[in-house]
Amino acid sequence: MNNIELELTSNIESAVKECFDITPEPGLIMIEIPKDNSKGDYSTNIAMRLTKIVRQNPQIIAKALVEKLQQKVKDADKIEIAGPGFINFWIKKTTLANVINTVIDAGDDYGKNDSGHGLRILVEYVSANPTGALHLGHARGAAWGDSICRLLNKSGYDCLREYYINDAGHQIDMLGESVYARYLQSFGKEATLPEDGYHGPDVVEITEEIKQDVGDKYVNCSKEEAVKFFRHQGKRRELKRIEEDLKYYRCEFDSWVSEQKIVDENRVNIVMDKMVEMGLTYEEDGAIWFKSTEYGDDKNRVLKKSDGFYTYLTPDIANHMYKFERGYTKLVNLWGADHHGYIPRMKAAIQAMGYGKDDLEVDIIQMVRLVENGQEVKMSKRTGNAITIRELIDDIGIDSARYFFVSRAVDTHLDFDLGLARSQTNENPVYYAQYAYARICSILRQTNGAKRLDSYDLLVSEKEVDLLKHINEFTSMVADAALTRSPNKVCNYIQKLAQYFHSFYGAHKIIDETQPELTAQRLALLEATRITLKNALDLVGVSAPEKMERTED
């Protein structure tokens, strides 16, 4: 909420108190921005919401409130009742323009807010197995998760970016055997990769790296010893590649938690013992089961198989307990769509261990389908395998990739149009926004720069007011996008901000020697727009270029 909205809310609250002698609950008073300018700058539906409490016609309630509000709201030019009982506010243009100095003073910090109240929140995302390169689903999850964390940090949450490494199970054994087979093959030996081994080019490349370090040392040793070595090496090097790809993609994690480490620290056994002790389990067919149906799951789940090994679930429960132990009170996971059915059992486990149902929230990342010229692109032309995050970025660029992934809600299937993402034309929303930024910088370069002024009384045209109002909304948008974990809202905001700017640019010549005062005020408005646009782009990890070369077509 910005200052104007805060002031309106508190004025409405006291008006309600005085008129009806009731204290409105938090959240009852809602301030909206009407889509239509003819309905004012801000609006509230409080009169309708009070009908049930006060037992009065909304028109009568609104009339009483407006009488009080006329005296209270000093920043309003006009307050009117409209439609079924909306109260609409027209804010003084000078008040709207105050935001320019707020933005200039705050700089990079504009948009920062404390709606998170320091809540300790741990966001786990990507968490791809270290057995191969990251793919499109991971790219979507990485962009989304990283933007969520940027939003949370900007909104006063204490947020940790975590990557959970599944490095203790069967798939790592397969990786070890795959690298071993490639290693032997490179010495001309007969060796076949396991059926469910890893056939990608990354395994061949990693094998070459290892060979450079150790030569033929593992050609003649026992298979057991060799596979153990290659398992470790393979995992380490695959992980390093993943980390490098993510870093290149502007996603950096604060914390990498290894499943193997959780096992080694005995956390899995401890959780298992505790669950048995708490009576959450039973034995059947030689296995130990978790009574997850008692906590909303549709089936009970095996924790320890009859062969004595744990299932995937058990170390993951330990992983989640470890998150709580480190003092995080809110856990957020971003999982691929194929993990959908896994949510109820993990939530069940958390509740069984004494935590709240909503202490863990899981957002599902739906499938990505690459499309080019209306045709689905399934495989990389170069490798014949699934397309990796690197190939995607090399093709369309980091900015385009990140923006596209984040601009659509994650819970819907995404058709990613390669041609569109690659195009440097007006069809591409990334360039539309970046071009606005470059245009602003270009104008500012031609002047002595924008200065903070004491008055913006000349900024009264429709285009200027639209821009001011939108800049005013930035902080509330950031808080809302953080709360609802919807970075796509930032993209909507960016598009609209760019649109308001371009429209303003088209309507007015900004540098006008004959009107120095107006020019100075407009330059300050441009500077505020520039800062807001840059901060918004930064929230989704997209760069703000000061120049864009014009391409000939």
**Cα–Cα dist 103/460, whole Å:** 19
Q: 183 or 320, CB closer to RNA?
A: 320
φ and ψ at 446, to 5 degrees? -85, 0
Residues 75 and 97: their CA atoms lie apart, in Å, by 12
- Going by DSSP bridges, is the β-strand pair 375-376/368-372 parallel, antiparallel, or unpaired? antiparallel
**Number of CB atoms found within 10 A of residue 272's CB:** 20
**Residue with Cβ nearer RNA (286 or 327):** 286
**With b meaning 16 or more CB within 10 Å and e meaning fewer, what string describes 374-385?**
eeeeeebeeeeb
Nearest to 348 by CA among 316, 322, 306, 310: 316
User: Which is closer to RNA, CB of 68 or CB of 502?
Assistant: 502
List the beta bridge partners of residue 362.
333
Q: Report residue 518: phi and psi, to 5°.
A: -60, -40
Q: Tokens for 15?
A: 């008006």
The smaller minimum CB distance to RNA, of residues 510 and 520, is found at 510
Identity of the residue, 160 or 444, whose beta carbon is nearer to RNA in the bound complex: 444
Q: How far is CA 72 from the centre of its chain?
A: 39
Residue 27 has phi, psi (to 5 degrees) of 95, -15
State which H helix or E strand residue 360 sits in: strand 360-365
CB of 307 to RNA, least distance (A): 6
Q: How far apart are CA 148 and CA 159, in angstroms?
A: 10
* Minimum distance, C-beta of residue 316 to RNA, in the bound complex (Å): 9
Report H helices in 257-342.
Answer: 259-264, 267-277, 313-325
Provide the β-strand partners of residue 283. Answer: 288
Nearer CB in complex with RNA: 327/341: 341
Contact between 140 and 365 under an 8 Å Cβ cutoff? The reply is yes
Coil, strand or helix at 303: strand
Residue 426 beta carbon to RNA: minimum distance, rounded to whole angstroms: 2
User: Is residue 110 left, alpha or beta, with left meaning phi > 0 and alpha meaning psi from -120 to 50?
Assistant: beta
Vertex 123: Cα angle to 337 and 129 (nearest 5): 55
Cβ proximity of 89 and 8 under 8 Å: yes
**Cα–Cα nearest to 43, from 53, 32, 52:** 32
Tokens for 18, please give them. Answer: 């005085």
Among residues 323 and 345, whose Cβ is nearest to RNA? 345
CB of 12 to RNA, least distance (A): 14
**C-beta closer to RNA: residue 289 or 355:** 289
CB-nearer residue toward RNA: 150 or 485? 485
Q: How far is the CB of 285 from RNA (least distance, A)?
A: 3
What angle do helix axes 136-154 and 516-539 make, rounded to 10 degrees?
130
Toward RNA, which CB reaches closer, 325 or 338? Answer: 338
- Beta sheet of 414-417, edge-to-edge order: 375-376, 368-372, 414-417
The CA–CA distances, whole Å, from 215 to 177, 210, 228, 352 equal 18, 8, 17, 51
Per DSSP, which regions of 49-91 are E strands? 76-82, 86-91
Q: Which is nearer to RNA, 6 or 214 (CB)?
A: 6
> Please, which residue, 184 or 542, has the CB nearer to RNA?
542
Residue 263 beta carbon to RNA: minimum distance, rounded to whole angstroms: 11
Q: How far is the CB of 280 from RNA (least distance, A)?
A: 17
